[in-house]
Structures are given as structure tokens and as C-alpha cells.
Amino acid sequence: MSAHESVANYSPARARDRDALVARGAPGLPRLLAGIPPRGALPLEQHLALHGPLPSLGRRGSGRALVGARRGARRGDPALIEEVERAGLLGRGGAAFPTAAKLRAVAAASRSAIGRARPLVVVNGAEGEPASAKDRALLRSLPHLVLDGALLAARAVGAREIQLGICESAPTALDAVSCALAEHARVRGGGADGIEMVLRPVPPRYVAGQESALVNHLSGGPALPTFTPPRPFERGVRGRPTFVCNVETLAHLALIARHGADWFRELGTPEQPGSALVTLRGPLPHPGVYEIEHGSLLTALLDAAGGLAAAPRAVLLGGYAGAWIDGSWLSELVLSDAHLEPYGASLGAGVVAVLSADACPVAELARLTRWLSSQSARQCGPCIFGLDAIATAFEQLALAGVAARGSVRNVRVSGSAGRDAHRTADASHGRAAIDRRLRALAGLVRGRGACGHPDGVARLVESALEVFAPELDEHARRGPCTACARPSELPAPKATPTPVPRAAAPIPPSR
Amino acid sequence: MTPLHRLRVNPIACEAHGMCHELLPERISLDEWGYPILDGAPLDPALLDHARRAAAACPTFALLVERRQR
Amino acid sequence: MTAPLLPVAVAGPSLDWYLTRSTGAVALLLLSVALALGVADVRRLGTPSWPRFVLDALHRNASLLALVFLLLHILTAVLDSFASISLLAAFVPFVGSYRPFWLGLGAVAFDLLLAVILTSVLRQRFGQRVWRVTHWLVYACWPIALLHTLGTGSDVKSAWLLALSVCCLALVLAAVFVRAFAGFTREGARTRGLALGGAFAFALFLALWLPSGPLGSEWARRSGTPSALLGHSASRSRIVVGP
């Protein structure tokens, strides 16, 4: 199968009719995005007509209607879990954890615990990553695919309750899902599955999509990460074993149950089978959410989006917790984790963001890191202070740009370094010092928070230091560049600088 | 096999009091903001009592001495 | 005369009576020290020669020592035949016959201190939340202990006890001051204001109450001393010593 043809596309920015979408699709694609309506959500009848009915308990791709679901619900469905394992489905929320392993763990935890051990399923539609839009797109346009996946997951682990955690700042997605739930209740008969589905809006924080934060919120607490162990699969919402799953992963699950593991593996690579959704951003005519085959070329994706309109300086893969890759390697990049590993990157949450050569990476990084610092849950010292120090260091480099230009939106300087930033330092000395400082900070925050947020920032920073070394040098030597004042290419909602508490004074060393 | 003990810190509970570093400087150092840095390696059995004392001294019970079979 | 002075015959107060007063005074002093150390959060003042765990231990040990002296204080008070304080009255407030209200305050303070110390010693068992909530009781325990001292102590008018009480008060006030203004900023302005306000209000109350209360006339009768014991107040301060 030619990699160049293996892309189908969906652009939220333009209305496209259904036939054109299907016709452009390469063999095998689209899968998830099949039948996507140009506007609104795909209704239940059309969804069933397109994909077939939801498979019944224990039968794969049989096309039989839902039968005996209630009886089997308590037992779980090991056959389905096995099928998912054969398919090799990996989580699409960013961590790429094997879905079958997670299903097994929840099923096992609910069997071994006594008392109120009935498991539940949580659909993670929080998508706090500003650069990612794929989950929103799925929920908005193909909610029944996601609901099918959730129902199957519930059946697989023996759950009777599904909670749909959806970002409250995505009103169209919320509306689409609640309409889909109403349709579901009407067509299938309320409670026919015996599985209750509840829509739960989630605050739009970056960390709210983290597994333990989502579970914390659904249990009535704040949408902030908790200390693990115990992980949600053992003790989640209200202490019960919880299967937390990304929206896209559930959509894949819905199709695997219908068509089988072999069908799933027809696309993709052996380690990373199937298709995936990516959010493509950058200087392109048609940015947006695309479905790709794992192992296809990045250039094929860019071509499908109309080709780059400006020279690429670098590409950010995965999300704001991902890694930068230099633009000169764009043509050889293959979209699979195995191929990206030598570059220090991975597909992560499916964000592919191209930074044009016209942008100022230093200003972008200053904005990004300041936003990421503001999104800290403020529970762990190294994250609170470390991320602030990282943002301040980047602002220190970009600040001269602010002073010269007069105003650059979204670049705010806080912390003690802000006052020092106006001091001109010896260029090479300053550059090397900042480089050392940033590397030290990245190493210092990695692994020392309750969640992966500081780790993500560390990865972003370390790859940026490698890729953008020339621009960092320039800024240290000459100060602001002409590109500093350009509007940002990467979305970073305005970060209100939250005051960083004063750190407790450490004791001077006694020896 | 003899159980191995490891030090772990609950970063949410930790408030950087720093007593753990005073009581177990061999394995715990503090970063520039006063928060403990642990290396995750197994504990020397000779240090186990000191580690337990450090964990008991923590005002927020953020330091944990965990036992793992390995 | 080279032979040591021996209290051969004592009219009125026994050895227990002296012990009660002295252990009580020491207990109050230690309790005040413990409270001051805790309020001022001396842990953060660690230096290489005074590490934080030592400062933390100072606070803990002062409170434990206070408890020891408190137990001695209670024991000697119960054993003393003069005022017939039952053991029950030491733990259950307001059931005694000797100055029931003021003695009862002592029982309350003791119960509170016991709760605080038990939850602290068994903190790992009780959990952080229980410990934190119970620990706030010290802010009731200490003022009550001070009021008990001033109300029950029969030599409240003597200089040494007054001086001690003033010292204890000053110690705690200084600690509140230090905590509020030294800049360890975990608390908001509201908490700081509340703490300072509460501390000075208590000091003001004492300044207004003492002259008309314990330092005023006939306090022994007004505070509830049984009438049978009232006549002894004059001879109480004298010990007859034989050769």
C-alpha cells in the first residue's frame, strides 16, 4: 500500500460533502472518520447503517443484535479482551498503554476486591491539550462510535456504569454527546443494556485530562492529580476499579469488536497497528484533524493538507509534552513511535504542529513554557518552582524582544528573574549559562511531580535546546529578533501569571 | 529473596520542611527550593533504621519507606 | 546552728501542697514554652548546629515534659489532705468541691492536652487529618490552663506566681507576633489578624479581670473554697520549723 495514498481527511474549517470524503480515501481509510458529516453529528440510524449493529456478547463481528447483555454484564467478556489484545490496540491519549492490559487489570481488580467492587468505565474526553482537537472532533461528529466503544468496554470489564468526562469548554461536543445519549435511550430502549451512561463536564485545565485528576474530579474532588498508587484501575471513582480510556481508543475498540483483530492489523505497523487521528497545525491550507495509517510518511499527511505554505523550521510531535524535531528532517519522518524514537519523539496525543521559519521559536517557547507553568496543579514543589524557573529563563531570552517592541501579547515576565532580565549580560557567557540552567532545571523537574506534567515540559525544553540552538544564540547575542512580535503560531491561551509562593529556605549544608 | 526497601516521597504532601535530609543525608539531598531528591535505588539495610526515623519525623508523612520483593 | 533545718511540724500545708504548686507552675511554664515553639514554627529557623529535627524535638519534648509535670501536679493535689480533691475531679470538669469552676478548668485543660498528645504520638495510626484538627485544641488548652492557675492557685497574689504567669503570657504573645510578622507566608492576612487579635484580646481580658478577680479581696471565698477551709488562709504561708 503506497504511503502517499493512505490518508483521508476531515477539516473542521471547511464544509465537505460525504461522497467526496469517501472517494478521496485510500484503501483501508477512512476507518474512524468514515461517514463523517460535514456539519453536526452522525445520527444513530446512519451510524448503524454504516458500521452495523453493536456486536453481542461473546460473538465477534456476528452482526447479531444485542442479546443477553444483562446476564453477561456481571461476568465481563474475556473473549472481547482477547480480541483487543490480538489487535494490539494502544491507548491514544498520549501514553500508548496497551488497552487490553488495562481492561484485564480492571476486570481482575473487580474480581479480587470484596464488597463494592463493581467496576466502572470513564470516557476521557477532557482533551486539555490546546493543540489537540481530535477528541473534540470525534465527540462532535461521531459520538455514537465513542458510545459504542464505551459500552463494549463496560461489557468487557463487567461494568454497569459509564461516566463520560467531557471538557466543559467544548459546548458542541457536550451537546452532540447528550443528543446521542438521548437517541440511544430512545432507540435501544432505556436500560436495555442495563448500563447507565452519565455525562459529566470536566474543567478545561491542562492537567484535568490526567487519569487520576479525572477520577478525582468525578469522585467529587478537585480536577487535580492524586498520588499513585493506588492507580485508577485498582481504586478509582469512589474507590471502585475504574477503566479510564481516551475517546479515540474507544472508537477504535468499537470497530475492532465489529470487524476483528485481523482487520485492524491490515493497516499500520506490527508494533503499532491500525490507524490514528492526528491534529495537524501549521502553515497549511487545510490544517485540522486527519486520520492516518501508522507508519505513513509525514510528507504524505502534509500533502493531503495542501502542502506547506512556508518553509518549516521545526515540527512539534505529540503535544506540548512532546518533542521538537528539526525541519530539515521532515521528509524522512515516518509517523510511528518506533521510527520516531531515535529522534527522541513519539506520536503521543497525536499533535503534529509545524513551526514555520518565519516564527521566532524563542518567543513561542517563552509563551508555551509560561502557559505550561500556569497550568501546574500547584501541588508539588518541584513543578511549581521548576516550571516557573524554566519559563522565566525563556522569557529572559525573549524579553529583550518585548522591551524593544513595546508589547508582545502573552509574554509576561514574573518571578525574581524578571527584574534581572533587563541587565545585559555577556552574550556567550549568558547563553551558555542559560543553556546550563535550562538543562539542569529540566533534569530537576523530571519525575518529581505526582503526574507527568513536569516530565512533559522537561522533554519539550530539552528538545528545544537542541533544535533551536541557533535562535537561542542569536537572542543571547543580539537581543530581540524581528519575528518576536509576530502572533503566535502555537495556541497558548493567555496565561495569567499566578503568583509563585516563596520557597521554604533550605538549610545551608552542614559539611 | 530478602525484601528490598526503597524510599519514596509523596510530592503532593511534601512541604519542604527538610528534616528528612537532616536525618538521612546519605540518600536524600535537597534541591534549590528545599524539596527532597531521591535516587530510587534500594536502601542499604544499615540505613533502614535511619530511614524509618526520617519517615517518622516528616511533619506531613510525605516520606515513605516501601518494601518490595525483588 | 549546724544542723539542717527540718520542717518538723507543719501547720496547714503539707509537702504535697508545695509540690502541687511547684509542679503546676513548671507544667504551665513548659506548656507555654511548647506552645510558643509551635506557634513560632521554629522548625524553619534551622541552622547546621541547630537542625530542624532538633527544633522539632524541642517542641515535642517540652510538651511531653509538661504532661509529666502535669501528672505529678494532679497526683500531689489528689494526695494532699488539705483540700480533698478527688481523683475524679482531676479528669472530669466541675465535679470537685474545692473551687469547682477553677479546678474544673484545670481538668478541661488536662483532657485537651491529653487528646493532643495522644493523637500526636499515634499520628501514624490516626492519620494526618485527625492530628491536624485535634492539634488546634491547644489554642483552647493553654488559656484555660492559665486561667486555672490564676483562679485556683492560692498564692496568686505572691510575686513569683504573678511574674511566672506574666512571663508565660509574654512568651506566647511574642511567638504569635513572630509568626504573624516574620514572613512565613502560608497563612493569609485574615488568619494572622485573627491570631493577633485573639492573643491581645486574651491579654486585655486578663489585665481587666485580674485586679477585680484573683487579685481582689476575698477571692478565696468568691472562687468557691469550701467555708471549712477558709479560715486557714492566714496560717498557710508559715511553716513551723523545729530544731
Q: Write out pLDDT tens, residues A463-507.
A: 999 999 999 888 888 888 888 888 888 887 765 555 555 554 444
pLDDT at A401: 35
Contact A507 C185 (CB under 8 A): no
- What does the mean pLDDT of chain C come to? 82
- Spell out the domain ranges in chain A: 32-264, 275-356, 361-485
Residue A419, amino acid: R
pLDDT at A406: 31
pLDDT at A193: 63
What is the second-level CATH architecture of the domain A275-356? Roll (3.10)
C230 pLDDT band, cuts 50/70/90, is low
User: Shortest CA distance to A301 belongs to which of A335, A271, A342, A329?
Assistant: A335
Which position has the higher pLDDT, C184 or A275?
A: A275
Q: Estimate the crossing angle of helix A469-478 against helix A453-467, to 10 degrees.
A: 80
* Contacting residues of C for B22, CB less than 8 Å apart: 46, 51-53
Residue range B26-43: mean pLDDT, rounded: 92
pLDDT at C95: 80
Other Cβ atoms less than 10 A from the Cβ of A454: the count is: 29
Chain B residue closest in CA terms to A505: B34
Q: Estimate the crossing angle of helix C159-181 against helix C138-152, to 10 degrees.
A: 160
A428 pLDDT band, cuts 50/70/90, is low
Q: C231: which residues sit within 8 A by CB, 6+ positions away?
A: none
Work out the burial of residue A94: count CB atoms within 10 Å of its CB; fewer than 13 is exposed, 13-18 middle, 19 or more buried.
buried
B18 touching C, CB under 8 A?
yes
- Lowest model confidence (mean pLDDT) among A351-355, C39-43, C87-91: C87-91
- Spell out the domain ranges in chain B: 4-68
pLDDT at A67: 41
Q: Percent helix, strand and coil across chain B, each rounded to 5? A: 25, 25, 50
For residue range A152-164, what is the model confidence (pLDDT) as tens digits?
Answer: 999 999 899 999 9
Rounding to the nearest 10 degrees, give the CA dihedral for residues A237, A239, A242, A247.
10
Question: What is the Cα–Cα distance from C14 to C231, expressed in whole angstroms?
Answer: 17
Strand partners, A315: A325, A354
Give the 3-state DSSP-derived string for chain C, with helices as H, strands as E and coil as C.
CCCCCEEEECCCCCHHHHHHHHHHHHHHHHHHHHHHHHHHCHHHHCCCCCCHHHHHHHHHHHHHHHHHHHHHHHHHHHHCCCCCCCHHHHHCCCCCCCCHHHHHHHHHHHHHHHHHHHHHHCHHHHCHHHHHHHHCCHHHHHHHHHHHHHHHCCCCCCHHHHHHHHHHHHHHHHHHHHHHHCCCCCCCHHHHHHHHHHHHHHHHHHHHHHHHCCCCCCHHHHCCCCHHHHHHHCHHHCCEEEC
- Lowest model confidence (mean pLDDT) among A226-235, A418-427, C129-138: A418-427
For residue range A90-123, what is the model confidence (pLDDT) as tens digits?
Answer: 999 998 999 999 999 999 888 876 655 789 999 9
Q: A128: which residues sit within 8 A by CB, 6+ positions away?
A: A167, A204, A205, A206, A207, A208, A209, A375
Residue range A121-147: mean pLDDT, rounded: 93
pLDDT at A419: 41
Residue range C46-59: mean pLDDT, rounded: 90
* Contacting residues of B for C44, CB less than 8 Å apart: 17
Nearest to C51 among B22, B59, B60 (CB): B22
For residue range A170-204, what is the model confidence (pLDDT) as tens digits?
Answer: 899 999 999 999 998 887 654 446 789 999 999 99
Contact A509 C48 (CB under 8 A): yes
Asked if A349 contacts A93 with a C-beta cutoff of 8 angstroms, the reply is yes
What is the second-level CATH architecture of the domain A32-264? 3-Layer(aba) Sandwich (3.40)
Strands A120-125, A161-167: pairing is parallel
The full length of chain C comes to 243
What is the second-level CATH architecture of the domain B4-68? 2-Layer Sandwich (3.30)
* Contacting residues of A for C187, CB less than 8 Å apart: none
Residue range C104-118: mean pLDDT, rounded: 92
CA distance B1 to chain A (A): 24
Strand partners, B37: B29
Contact C47 A507 (CB under 8 A): yes
Asked if C134 contacts C115 with a C-beta cutoff of 8 angstroms, the reply is yes
pLDDT at A402 over 50: no
pLDDT at C235 over 50: no
Q: What is the CA radius of gyration of chain B?
A: 11
Chain A residue closest in CA terms to B37: A448
**What is the grid cell recorded at C96?**
470537685
What is the second-level CATH architecture of the domain A361-485? Up-down Bundle (1.20)
pLDDT at A487: 83
Residue range C93-102: mean pLDDT, rounded: 80
A439 pLDDT band, cuts 50/70/90, is very high
CA distance A507 to chain C (A): 6
Residue % of chain B over a pLDDT of 90? 71
Nearest to A508 among C44, C48, C185 (CB): C48
For residue range A28-56, what is the model confidence (pLDDT) as tens digits?
Answer: 788 999 888 888 899 999 999 999 988 87
Taking one residue from B and the other from C, the number of pairs with CB-CB distance under 8 angstroms is: 25
pLDDT at A396: 84
Nearest to B12 among A379, A386, A504 (CB): A379
**What is the grid cell recorded at A244?**
479510564
Provide DSSP, A474-505: HHHHH---GGGGSPPSS-----PPPPPPPPPP
Residue % of chain A over a pLDDT of 90? 59
pLDDT at A410: 36
Residue range A249-257: mean pLDDT, rounded: 96
Q: Which of residues 380-439 of A touch B (CB under 8 A)?
A: 380-383, 385-386
Contact B18 C128 (CB under 8 A): no
Residue % of chain A over a pLDDT of 70? 79
CA distances for A508 relative to A422, C48, C55, C118, angstroms: 30, 7, 16, 34
pLDDT at A161: 93
C124 touching A, CB under 8 A?
no
Strands A351-356, A312-317: pairing is antiparallel
Question: What is the Cα–Cα distance from B43 to A29, expressed in whole angstroms?
Answer: 53
Indicate the SS3 state at residue A164: strand
pLDDT at A219: 94
**What is the grid cell recorded at A11?**
477539516
Nearest to B60 among C56, C124, C128 (CB): C128
C241 pLDDT band, cuts 50/70/90, is very low
Threshold 0.90, pTM exceeds: no
pLDDT at A370: 93
C222 pLDDT band, cuts 50/70/90, is confident
A265 pLDDT band, cuts 50/70/90, is very high
pLDDT at A449: 94
In A47-168 the beta strands, taken as DSSP E runs, fall at 120-125, 161-167
* Contacting residues of A for B10, CB less than 8 Å apart: 227, 450
Residue % of chain C over a pLDDT of 70? 84
pLDDT at A18 over 70: no
* Contacting residues of B for C43, CB less than 8 Å apart: 17, 19, 59
Residue range A220-235: mean pLDDT, rounded: 91
Provide DSSP, A18-69: HHHHHHHPPTT--STTTT--SSS---HHHHHHHH-SPP-TT-SS--PPP-SH
Contact C185 A502 (CB under 8 A): yes
A319 pLDDT band, cuts 50/70/90, is very high
- What does the mean pLDDT of chain A come to? 82
- Lowest model confidence (mean pLDDT) among A5-14, A305-314, A377-386, A454-463: A5-14
pLDDT at A63: 35
pLDDT at C183: 61
Contact C48 A507 (CB under 8 A): yes
pLDDT at C43 over 50: yes
Residue range A379-396: mean pLDDT, rounded: 93
Asked if A162 contacts A121 with a C-beta cutoff of 8 angstroms, the reply is yes
